[in-house]
Structure 1
Amino acid sequence: MNIQDITNNDFIQDKSSIWVLKQHKNFAYSDGAESEKYLEYVFTKAEDLSSSSTELESHIKDWPSEYHLTTKRARLFAGFDFDSSKKVLEVGCGCGAITRYLGETFNDVVSIEGSINRARLARLRTEELDSVSIICAPFQEIEFTRKFDIIFCVGVYEYSASFVAGEDPYHSVLNYFSNMLTPDGVIVIAIENQFGLKYFNSAREDHTRTQFEGLEGYHRHGHKVKTFGKYELENNLKEFFPTIQFYYPYPDYKLPSCIISDDFLSQGHAGELVSQIKSRDYYGELPKPWNEGLVSMELSKNNMLPFFASSFLVFAGKSQIEGVSFNQLAITTTSDRIKQFRTQTRIYNGRNGGISVSKKALSGKVIESNEKLSMIESNSNWNNTDSLQTLLFHNCMSKNM
């Protein structure tokens, strides 16, 4: 796509095929030059650049490379069915992990990134996808001449104060997004929860690396970055997007293995499921004074898990939410196994008012096997009780073991 055809700005297409806004001053946001050079090397040499590439995963060596190369990034949208004809705008595409998934899913994707090095990496990651166009520019300076059906904003909204001037940059950004959407358009926001349970249990804030920073109101770094609790985030969105649907990625939206619907998490059914998913401090584990899994189960009994979820995945519509569906209560993916034994588990409303569970191989085969192991598709009923592991753990704790 020629970006000049859908904007009123002047762009230059550089040798990497990204569209750079004339006189754009490069954003300083980066994981570091060494990290970005490594990604360039990996993307250039790789034969499989897809969002499900285990080849890329084999090059993970540290946290930055894990974030950009793991197949878990695209699992954020596991279980969602999108209308591929919708016109998509991605704001803050980074090095292209989500961009790659969007390009595989939709026919028309425009992705914006303020850092020229990261924009070029995103283009490398999507180089054979004609469905994707990459723009390097501040998103608020682009004057589009067309509207979009869906805007994806993954890990970006919290940085609004760093890139947008004004008394309330978070309000300004949502206003901009609303103006860029069609009358029935939808925005998709993935963001950490200010009151994520792990932050009460000594984990450092994901952006500032400071313990209790978000819980205390971002008094140190709030002029650059801040996340929100569920109530405040919903109120921010309501002015522009009256229809709002929350989902909950666990352990978080960055490396999700499970996506849970609001209905399932709010009704007290998901405590056992959530208790088995370990949260992560991305700057190294610190001693934890209490067991998050057991606390999660108690919170579930009191319908409080949504407030303490680590992350939110929000679909917000200017009218109704169209072009996307999530036809289950929750979905989990095992991404840490070897490829042929990776599975996807759907939890959904079954017949006669019960909850059903379906396990399938991601490969699509009914039976997967090697010389030692076999994996067979299965269907069962959901048992809303404590697992054997939980019962054993409770018993050990009661005996101070």
Structure 2
Amino acid sequence: MQKKIGNVILDYTYYKGQDLYSDGIIEDNILDIVKTGKEKDILYSSNEWPILYHLSDIRENILEWYPFCENAKTLEIGSGCGALTGLLSRKSKDVTCIELSEKRSLINAYRNQDCENITIMLGNFQDIIIKDKYDYITLIGVWEYAGLYVNDENPYLRMLEIVKKFLKKDGKIIIAIENKMGLKYWNGALEDHTSNLYSSLNDYVDDKHVRTFSKPEIEKIFKQLDINNYAFYYPVPDYKLPDVVYSDEILPKPGAERNYRKDYNACRMYNFYDATASDQICQDSMYPYFSNSFLIITGEKNTKNYFQKYNRCRKENLRIKTEIYEENERIFIRKKALNEPSKKHIIQLKNNEKIWIGCLPALKYIEGKLEDDEYITQYIEGIDLDTLFYEYRNDADLFVQKYCYFIDTYLRPLNEDLVPFSMSDQFISIFGNNAPLNEVSLKITNIDLIFSNLRLTKDSQLYCFDYEWIYDFSIPYDYVLWRNATQLYSKYMVYLRSKLSLGEFLKSVGIHLDNIPIYNEMERNFANSVFGINDKENYLQNYRKIAINQTIKFS
């Protein structure tokens, strides 16, 4: 039996009339939402985890970057409510979904009803007769449930064994799964499937049918199945709502990961400082073992896609992604629009580059090129300046000394390049009508001269490589330095604050303390210009759950 919703075909041939997996009554609400096309309105106003998980387009970040082959045939096992089905439809010639739940399949069909290449087969994938061979088979949040639905004494190995039979000769299995040894589980997060503390760390001794794995365990299973080529990726904060995807070629450095309170599905007690533990793991090159999640793609060994970062929680016309990739044995950085309105923002990067280069003579600048609405620059080998400061984290005096050295050496403008600050209509439209008096400005200002956007090479050249927020009107340069100092201090606050408060740090590096309330107001207005009034598009904050800190205090 088949029926159609829009262009989507639902095939009931193997459906047994009972949904074995559900989030409960919330799925009825989601079905009503997608029928009426109000996904975005509900997403921005709700605080319920199932709404976020099923309806947010952040889910697409896990595979949006991946280059599917031309005319791909894709099998999506466990398609759920279709969070990724639409993406797969855009990347594939043909998509076949397998889903246990009729209700989830209906949600999927309604939200993707305009797609002409989707068939949803209802039923347990082990019962469904699959005659085709596929270029890609996805198991996104599915493999861990094999113990519930696959009849075998080793259901996890058996599931992959079955899946392999449906692959074309050069086909790929794409798996996203939590890491059994993920740092969040050590630090008080409930296990995603059992909702208990430490289930995975205790090897699921009381949970027989759901299981995740460490990286070595996955590699052992692959070896048993004669899967020899595969690539691991590391989505952050996890595969469900990633904003960054690392690879073994580019892994996070100390100071990069700050995931405190990125908890959206359950309340959490933190046992220790997340930042310090993450920094040490990165410093010791142990990140792949403690990553919260894995994305694994079989059939490839050496990836050309090193790094992905997404900015989806912005206004529509500012949503872009940043990629680091290899091509012809060279490494590049590419910024690309995530939608049609944001293409103008990408084009503006080249314009910004032209007016900004040379404004601070001590800096080096990267020149990029526009190709098909993409802005591409060379990748510079070196260390990001904020990462360098990990070395000074436990010595407040040295931290201040080194900070002042880099500001004075590279970011201090020449007097002849400064002009008196004057408030303009352009300034007011972005930063508001409150600004400090008697300040000076560059003629062209890059307000995002933070240390994470500056890279130091072995020969002590400091490169500026981000041209996103550059303005050709007057802005107090002291505000630029305040942003720089505040963001660096916040990154290493856990190490510094018992020895040096933020106010003391700002004073010691020459920031005018009387201006700080004004700068905070300017920063809020700037954030509104990027994320919408009251950070409307930055809706993730609505979903944050309560955090309790055991024996430690966070400011």
Stretches of structure 2 lacking an aligned partner (at least 5 in a row) = 350-425, 432-444, 463-486, 502-554
Q: TM-score, normalising length from structure 2? A: 0.61
The reply to whether residue 313 of structure 1 matches residue 292 of structure 2 is: no
Alpha carbons 1:250, 1:310 under 8 Å: kept: yes
SS at match of 1:367: helix
Instruction: Tell me which of 233, 253, 269 is aligned to 1:270.
Output: 253
Which residue number in structure 1 is paired with residue 180 of structure 2?
Answer: 194
Aligned residue for 1:140, secondary structure, equals coil
Distance 1:22 1:181 in 2: 21
SS at match of 1:287: strand
Alignment-derived partner of residue 2 in structure 2: 13
In structure 2, how many angstroms separate the alpha carbons of the residues matched to 1:153 and 1:230? 16
Equivalent-residue separation in structure 1 for 2:222 and 2:77 (angstroms): 17
Rate the CA distance shift 1:202–1:108 in 2: closer, same or farther, 3 A: same
Check the 8 A contact 2:74/2:136 in 1, yes or no: yes
Q: Which runs of 5+ in 1 are unaligned?
A: 1-11
TM-score (norm 1): 0.83
**1:139 match: secondary structure:** coil
CA-to-partner distance for each residue in 1:123-155, whole Å, 9 max, x for gaps?
112111011111101111122222111101100
Instruction: Verify the 8 A CA contact 1:59 1:69 in the aligned structure 2.
Output: no
Cα offsets for 1:181-225 (capped at 9, x unmatched): 11211100000000100111111101111000110010121x221
- Identify which range, 16-25 or 117-126, moves more after superposition: 16-25
Give the distance between the partners of 1:334 and 1:38, measured in 2 at CA.
28
**Bigger radius of gyration, 1 or 2?**
2
1:232-271 matches, within 5 Å, as 232-238=217-223, 239-265=225-251, 269-271=252-254
Partner of 1:330: 307
Deviates more, 1:80-89 or 1:67-76: 80-89
**Greater RCO structure (CA 8 Å; 6+ sep):** 1
Q: Distance in 2 between matches of 1:43 and 1:375?
A: 42
For the structure 1 residues 251 and 230, does the alpha-carbon distance in structure 2 shift closer, same or farther, using more than 3 Å as the test?
Answer: same
Could you tell me how far apart the structure 1 residues matched to 2:71 and 2:448 are?
A: 32
Letter in 2 for 1:41: D
CA distance in 2: counterparts of 1:148 and 1:351, whole angstroms: 29
Counterpart of 1:3 in structure 2 is none
Q: Does 2:495 match 1:394? A: yes
User: 1:284 Cα shift?
Assistant: 2.9
What is the deviation of 1:240?
Answer: 3.9
CA contact (8 A) 2:14 2:128 kept: no
Matches within 5 A, 1:129-278: 129-221=115-207, 223-238=208-223, 239-265=225-251, 269-273=252-256, 275-278=257-260
| Matching of residue 367 in structure 1 with residue 352 in structure 2 | no
Superposed displacement of residue 360, structure 1: 5.4
% identical equivalent positions: 30
1:397 shift after superposition: 4.1
Is 2:103 aligned against 1:103? no
Separation (CA, whole Å) in 2 of partners of 1:149 and 1:309: 28
Q: Does structure 1 residue 340 correspond to structure 2 residue 309? A: no
Say if 1:282 and 1:206 are closer, same or farther in 2 by CA, change over 3 A.
Answer: farther
1:36 aligns with 2:36: no
Retained in 1: the 8 A contact 2:14–2:121?
no
| In 2, Cα distance between equivalents of 1:201 and 1:383 | 33
CA RMSD, 1 decimal:
3.3
Amino acid at match of 1:332: K
Is the CA contact 2:259–2:274 (under 8 Å) kept in the aligned structure 1? Answer: no
Native 8 Å contact 1:108 1:132 kept in 2:
yes
Matches within 5 A, 1:29-68: 29-32=21-24, 34-46=25-37, 54=40, 57-58=43-44, 60-68=46-54
The code of the aligned residue for 1:14 comes to: K
> Of 72, 85, 107, which aligns to 1:121?
107
